Structure 1
Amino acid sequence: MKVEQTRSVERRAEVHAALADTTRLRVVDLLTVGDAASSELSSRLDVASNLLAHHLKVLERAGVVARHRSEGDGRRSYWRLASGLPPTGGPSLARPGRVVFVCTANTARSHLAAALWRAASPIPTTSAGTDPADRVAAGARSAARRHGLDLPDVRPRHLDDIGPAPRGDDLVVTVCDRAHEELGAASQVHWSVPDPVVAGTRAAFDLAYDELATRVRLLAPLVEQAC
């Protein structure tokens, strides 16, 4: 028991030490909202790539951040906050007129994210795809039913077909790597969620649901409190 307590204290000390730097705190703030590639972090923070690499290495070694390969461009990696790390803050966000969740086919992740958003926030939302399929995945509908989530019976739509925001600007949140890489700067927030349709299993859809629910829970208060 004493060994476990000692290790817990050591772990907390490592995390606090890693966060004891302005640039590293800014990295964590950005990753609280969404995932990002090294080049995106460098651009947003206006930090040279070699210096950013050092800060990311410190955060990774302390277990604060982790990275994984893109499902789209396999040459690219995305950084994210490590699981279980409490948020330390977040960047300044403008309150959007609407939140638009986008994935490639608009068959699972984007629909689930929009439904979760409707349950969590009064800010309007919708979903769309960059290359929409014919129908919403049966696994997404089943996952929604298991979790008591209202998933509207609608067909996938292209991003160009959803019309303008009802009030002000859209906040575009990509929930798949391919859509993020296709949209570029138009994707203001990115959540690198593995595609459950590829595996097609109940576990894969539940995992996507759980991750999206966590992300929505973190983002909703940040945009609702924004000016």
Structure 2
Amino acid sequence: MLLFGRDLNAIKMYMKNEFKKSKSDKELFFKFESTDGRIDSIEIHTDTENCSEGWSIRPHQENPTKVSRSTIDEYGHMNPICFPQCRFTITATPGGNTNSELMHPVTFKGIISDNTMFNIVLSMDIINPSPKDSKEIFRKHYAALSDLLMIPENIAAIAKQVYSEQLISQETLQDCMTDARRPADRAHSLLNALRVTIDQPGVLANLIKILKKYEAFRSTAEEMEHDI
């Protein structure tokens, strides 16, 4: 995705807030060309017919895509600030003939800049990243979860939810709901039961989904999701 704006810091803040995993490594500084009194605009050209073997790229807008100076200015004065966007869908087809890396040029016209072309670069490792170890993710956030689960109303709510999703047994649920037990012991019962099965397919994702429903756990759940 390409973003256009007059304030680079505002763009970086927007990306940080809207796209938690995003990282910008290419910034294009430019001035608009003025041609015969016409409205200044930038044109983004993408050659969709010539991609690396096994890859395809599809702009979400007309190709070439035009973004005018007035549009960038108008979006920049919105509250909250917003930015014109140019989006692409990039697909890699698994197979022996598919190149391991895509390097696809995007060309800009209607501007004055040191650079009027840059490459979209993706590798198969980015498209299909190696899965993180669920047990390691669980271990990393164990202490934070334990602290939260020692609050009686928290352990009761989460235990009921994970039992409903068949992530723990009825015996574990009973251990978690017994008021006579120490809060630390109740939390340990739940976390220990989850630890045993956390690497089974879908368990970690399901747990994160449950945790995100509760404000007290949402921040930790989002960190766990980010680690996947």
Structure with higher helix content: 1
* TM-score (normalizing by structure 2): 0.22
- Determine which structure has greater relative contact order: mean sequence separation of CA pairs < 8 Å that are 6+ residues apart, divided by chain length: 1
Kindly indicate which of the two structures has a greater share of residues assigned to strand.
Answer: 2
Task: Please tell me whether Structure 1 or Structure 2 has the larger radius of gyration of its CA atoms.
Answer: 2
